[in-house]
Chain A
């Protein structure tokens, strides 16, 4: 009974490199959400995707960040040219459908550290 799977659990990058974070939703879930948690802060919404579509990207930084959820395979959050301020925990959540009554289930997160 696999939950939301995120990998890697920990990712270390140097400034200027690219970071790719992966998220496989729970079986049967077609909606994926990405959140970022900075140290000592709550989770902040980044982007909401369905298969092959971005539904809401109001929380995504305008530059360097992108997300996709292809027809096959996991959702990917991509950060280009990383900077120190990108260091955070990135959490993915999934839900089965388009009704807000269906709670989001969270993965264990990816902790990104920028050297």
Chain B
């Protein structure tokens, strides 16, 4: 079955701390991988995506993620978080090729203490 697991339901950090949010997926075949962010009261925005090539992907706002195929993982990282990073973060996967549905993880709520 296709699924995405996000290990942390709620993460609380202080400003300037480093961040790593875990994501593992189960999906047959080659995949596209995504991290989306949902700020309070707003719609989902794409943080970064992996389609092919360099497994280390850089996104907006200083975020990056590394695709480790052998571990079926796509963890999100940021070296120094800011209060404005408070949001819900969703890891997601879709199959490559023609357009298709996205399978989302359950999300990780990130709270940053000022």
Residues of A within 8 A of B (CB): 3-4, 31, 33, 35, 40-45, 48, 56, 58-59, 91, 93, 95, 97-109
Main secondary structure of the interface of A (DSSP, over half): loop
Main secondary structure of the interface of B (DSSP, over half): strand
Give the chain A neighbours of B34 by CB distance below 8 A. 103
Any chain A CB within 8 A of the CB of B42?
A: yes
A42 engages B104 (CB within 8 Å): yes
A100-B106 contact, Cβ under 8 Å, with A91-B44, A108-B43: no
**Chain B 56-100 residues near chain A, CB threshold 8 A:** 90, 94-100
> How many residues on B have C-beta within 8 angstroms of the other chain's C-beta atoms?
27
A95-B99 contact, Cβ under 8 Å, with A100-B32, A101-B51: yes
Could you tell me the distance between the alpha carbons of A4 and B42 in the complex, rounded to whole angstroms?
13
B95 engages A42 (CB within 8 Å): no
Which partner residue on chain A sits nearest B88 by CB separation?
A42
Give the chain A neighbours of B11 by CB distance below 8 A. none
Give the chain A neighbours of B51 by CB distance below 8 A. 100-101
Could you tell me the distance between the alpha carbons of A108 and B39 in the complex, rounded to whole angstroms?
11
Could you tell me the distance between the alpha carbons of A108 and B32 in the complex, rounded to whole angstroms?
23
1/0 per residue B98-114: CB within 8 Å of A? 11111111110000000
Residues of B within 8 A of A (CB): 4, 6, 32, 34, 36, 42-46, 49, 51, 90, 94-107
Could you tell me the distance between the alpha carbons of A98 and B4 in the complex, rounded to whole angstroms?
23
Could you tell me the distance between the alpha carbons of A95 and B101 in the complex, rounded to whole angstroms?
11
Q: Which of B42, B98, B100, B101 contacts A108, CB < 8 Å?
A: B42
Give the chain A neighbours of B46 by CB distance below 8 A. 103, 105
Give the chain A neighbours of B104 by CB distance below 8 A. 35, 42-45
Give the chain B neighbours of A100 by CB distance below 8 A. 32, 51, 94-100
CB distance from B34 to the nearest CB of A (A): 7
Give the chain A neighbours of B45 by CB distance below 8 A. 106
B107 engages A56 (CB within 8 Å): no
Could you tell me the distance between the alpha carbons of A4 and B45 in the complex, rounded to whole angstroms?
12
